[in-house]
Amino acid sequence: MLKGKNVILAPLKREYIDKFLEWLNDPEITQHLMGYRPLTKDMEERWYASLKERENDIIFAILINQSQLIGNCSIMEIMWKDRMGTCGIFIGDKEEQGKGYGTEAMNLLLNYGFNTLNLNRLDLKVNNFNLRAIKCYQKLGFIEEGRMRQSCYRNGKYHDQIIMSILRSEWKGMNP
């Protein structure tokens, strides 16, 4: 369990599946997620069961007020030899979006990735229309290193995905 000022990153629990299912079937939430598709309870149950065998993926529940689930964040596709991984986050509770919880959760995740897992690089992809997320990532020190042109199709249009990354040295410089 990782504790911040307002946010806790905690292990996932089976009891969270119904809430994740609700959020991940909400088009307003999923428009910002990569690889979206409608999910069933069985699909979420299988995903949860598979977590125990995934050595290169670490996923946390994001909690506020000690126990209120508001989303999740992860470091996926960890390449241990190269000391890098890919970050992901979503705040599914719409009432808690825009309050800084995502930024705090990502900062806890970066601290865990760099200081506990000893990674050197963390990256992510973000849709170019997800301005709130881009601002969050820039605030944390991520820099744009490329674009995947027209790689996302939402609401009848193609959009770019921005590839962003942060190195341990850059993050440490901002968090002495």
pLDDT at 38 over 80: no
How far is residue 174's CA from residue 78's CA, in Å, rounded to a whole number? 23
pLDDT of res. 157:
94
Provide the annotated active-site residues. Answer: 137
Question: What is the CATH code of the structural domain delimited by 2-174?
Answer: 3.40.630.30
Domain ranges across the chain: 2-174
Least confident range from 20-29, 71-80, 138-147: namely 20-29
Residue 134 structure tokens: 């881009």
CA 144 from centroid of its chain's CA atoms: 17
**Mean pLDDT of the chain, nearest integer:** 92
Read off the pTM.
0.92
Place of tokens 């979006």: 97
Can you read off the two tokens belonging to residue 25? Answer: 């079937």
Q: Does the pLDDT at position 176 exceed 80?
A: no
What is the CB-side half-sphere exposure of residue 26 using CA atoms within 13 A? 13
Compute the average pLDDT of residues 13-33. Answer: 85
* Mean pLDDT, rounded, for 130-146: 96
Task: Please compute the mean of the pLDDT values over residues 154-176 and round it to a whole number.
Answer: 93
- Range list of H helices, the chain: 17-24, 27-30, 41-50, 101-111, 131-140, 168-174
pLDDT surpassing 70 at residue 167: yes
- pLDDT 10s digits, 77-132: 999 999 999 999 999 999 999 999 999 999 999 999 999 999 999 999 999 999 99
Residue 37 has pLDDT above 80, yes or no: no
Contacts of 46 (CB under 8 A, 6+ apart): none
